[in-house]
């Protein structure tokens, strides 16, 4: 057993002994006073200075313990999304032309790509990394590093400019990138570039796909609970899609080539309210990996010819719906008003009666809690299923549809582009509440809820040069 374990046991024993002795002393004193009668009980005028001193010390200790044990409030100081250059733009016609010219794809695969592209809900403005502009993409290590640096350094530069925070003030760093895991890590790449402190707490997440950004926020919140008050944690979320390009003919593995686009976001979280824009209200993580079908729903594998890629199951929307239901069950008691919780409970009880089992389950009205929804823009099927499952109007899913149309599926960063859309439209007001819903491999559904404490006063961001063209009427076409 280590010396640290011995120290913890001795500390626990000391605390238990001290508490027992204090309790016995107080009990014995009270019993003595009661047995001696009212004449012996000290009167207010007989209180000694030592008694007053002990009361003050006890109050100070109690207040200190309360401050130490209570959960600290976490704030989002600000965030910055990657703004791809126009030279990374790939039109649907160009994408299909490359498929026709490729010697790797057969005719059935090209027809499948054409069908999915037509139903993808994406415009001709989406962007891919430089390596994807070749007819026969082949991403080597240096090109993957270049793609990661392009996105990561750009968003950090923008965030540092917006927040005016010094490098030495960053106490923690969390990065997430699923498929690209270089040595040294992306987190170390950032530390080296910006010469961050030697004692900074660093974590690098991988393999968690589209919901990793929310996982990183939850992890940052936990880190800030044990750091000094006012500490800052930088969270960088991206996906390097160059190395994930699939060059085979399996339809389920071609979907990632068609839907995934370049993107990234940097966020600064702190326990200091100064200059903060949002307050973190709640974070819920739901993992369904114990179920085999959910575990293999988004699965990296090789096809029969040895081509590596990410396969998306046809049961994706069903698995996502089940994960969302589980997440709602865990999140509801913390965010829903008592009236909605009561209705939900009554319907559940009624459905247990044999003759009432066919009653449709009650869907809580989350619109009474949240003014804005940021649903992961994984594709038309994902957005539509969540919209239907939560009974949301087109107004609430507008940011998700518009982000899918303008930027495509940017994996874990997509919900932040949706938040940027709301900001760019000037729809975010003080005290407005936002619910972010992310889905990812595992299979996971992770949600975070925020309260706006300071609306954006800037018009910059990824939507700055195109926000006047949105919204577009694409709902009926993609539903």
β-bridge mates for residue 439, sequence order: 445
pLDDT of 14-25, one tens digit each? 444 444 444 455
Checking if the pLDDT of 6 tops 60, the result is no
Checking if the pLDDT of 111 tops 90, the result is yes
Question: What domains does the chain contain, in order, with CATH numbers?
Answer: 75-478 (3.40.47.10)
Q: Could you tell me the CA-to-CA distances from 289 to 24, 293, 320, 442 in Å, in that order?
A: 51, 8, 12, 5
**pLDDT (average), residues 186-196:** 95
Q: CA 106 from chain center: how many Å?
A: 38
Provide the pLDDT for residue 207. 86
Phi and psi of 470, rounded to 5°? -120, 150
β-bridge mates for residue 433, sequence order: 451
**List of residues 6+ apart from 55 with CB closer than 8 A:** none
What distance in Å separates the CA atoms of residue 20 and residue 24, rounded to the nearest whole number? 6
**pLDDT (average), residues 319-332:** 90
Q: CA 6 from chain center: how many Å?
A: 38
Provide the pLDDT for residue 47. 59
Provide the pLDDT for residue 14. 41
Determine contact, residues 105/303, Cβ cutoff 8 Å.
no
Torsion angle, alpha carbons of 65, 69, 71, 73, to 10: 30
* pTM metric for this prediction: 0.84
Checking if the pLDDT of 454 tops 80, the result is yes
Tokens of 84: 């791809």
Give the DSSP letter of residue 474: -
What distance in Å separates the CA atoms of residue 299 and residue 252, rounded to the nearest whole number? 10
State the average pLDDT for the chain.
Answer: 85
Range name among 5-14, 96-105, 118-127, 244-253 with the lowest pLDDT average? 5-14
Torsion angle, alpha carbons of 356, 359, 364, 368, to 10: -100
């Amino acid at each position: 057993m280590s010396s640290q374990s011995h120290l913890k046991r001795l500390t626990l024993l000391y605390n238990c002994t001290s508490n027992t002795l204090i309790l016995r002393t107080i009990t014995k004193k009270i019993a003595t006073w009661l047995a001696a009668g009212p004449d012996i009980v000290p009167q207010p005028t007989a209180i000694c200075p030592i008694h007053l001193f002990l009361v003050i010390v006890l109050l100070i200790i109690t207040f200190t313990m309360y401050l130490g044990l209570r959960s600290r409030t976490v704030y989002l100081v600000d965030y910055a999304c990657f703004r791809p250059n126009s030279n990374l733009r790939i039109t649907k016609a160009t994408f299909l032309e490359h498929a026709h010219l490729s010697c790797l794809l057969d005719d059935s695969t090209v027809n499948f790509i054409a069908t999915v592209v037509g139903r993808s809900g994406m415009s001709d403005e989406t962007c891919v990394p430089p390596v994807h502009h070749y007819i026969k993409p082949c991403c080597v290590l240096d090109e993957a590093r270049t793609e990661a640096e392009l996105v990561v350094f750009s968003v950090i530069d923008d965030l540092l400019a917006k927040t005016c925070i010094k490098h030495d003030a960053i106490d923690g760093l969390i990065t997430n990138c699923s498929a690209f895991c270089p040595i040294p890590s992306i987190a170390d790449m950032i530390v080296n570039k910006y010469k961050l402190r030697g004692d900074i707490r660093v974590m690098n997440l991988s393999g968690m796909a589209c919901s990793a950004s929310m996982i990183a926020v939850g992890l940052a919140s936990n880190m800030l609970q044990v750091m000094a008050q006012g500490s800052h944690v930088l969270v960088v979320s991206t996906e390097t899609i160059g190395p994930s390009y699939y060059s085979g003919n399996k339809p389920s593995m071609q979907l990632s080539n068609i839907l995934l686009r370049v993107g990234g976001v940097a966020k600064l979280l702190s326990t200091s309210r100064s200059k903060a824009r949002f307050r973190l209200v709640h974070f819920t993580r739901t993992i369904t990996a114990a179920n085999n079908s959910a575990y293999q729903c988004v699965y990296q594998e090789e096809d029969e010819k040895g081509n590596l890629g990410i396969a998306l199951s046809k049961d994706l929307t069903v698995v996502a719906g089940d994960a969302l239901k589980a997440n709602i069950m865990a999140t509801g008691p913390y965010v829903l008003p008592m009236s909605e919780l009561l209705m939900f409970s009554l319907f559940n009880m009624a459905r247990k009666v044999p003759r009432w089992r066919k009653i449709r389950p009650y869907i809580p009205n989350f619109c009474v809690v949240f003014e804005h929804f940021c649903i992961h823009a994984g594709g038309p099927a994902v957005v539509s299923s969540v919209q239907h499952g939560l009974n949301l109007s087109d107004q609430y899913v507008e940011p998700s549809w518009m982000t899918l149309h303008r930027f495509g599926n940017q994996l874990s960063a997509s919900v932040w582009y949706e938040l940027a859309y709301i900001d760019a439209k000037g729809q975010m007001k003080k005290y407005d509440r936002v619910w972010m819903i992310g889905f990812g491999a595992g299979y996971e559904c992770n949600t975070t809820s925020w309260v706006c404490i300071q609306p954006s006063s800037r018009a910059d961001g990824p939507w700055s040069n195109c926000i006047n063209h949105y919204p577009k009427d694409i709902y009926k076409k993609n539903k």
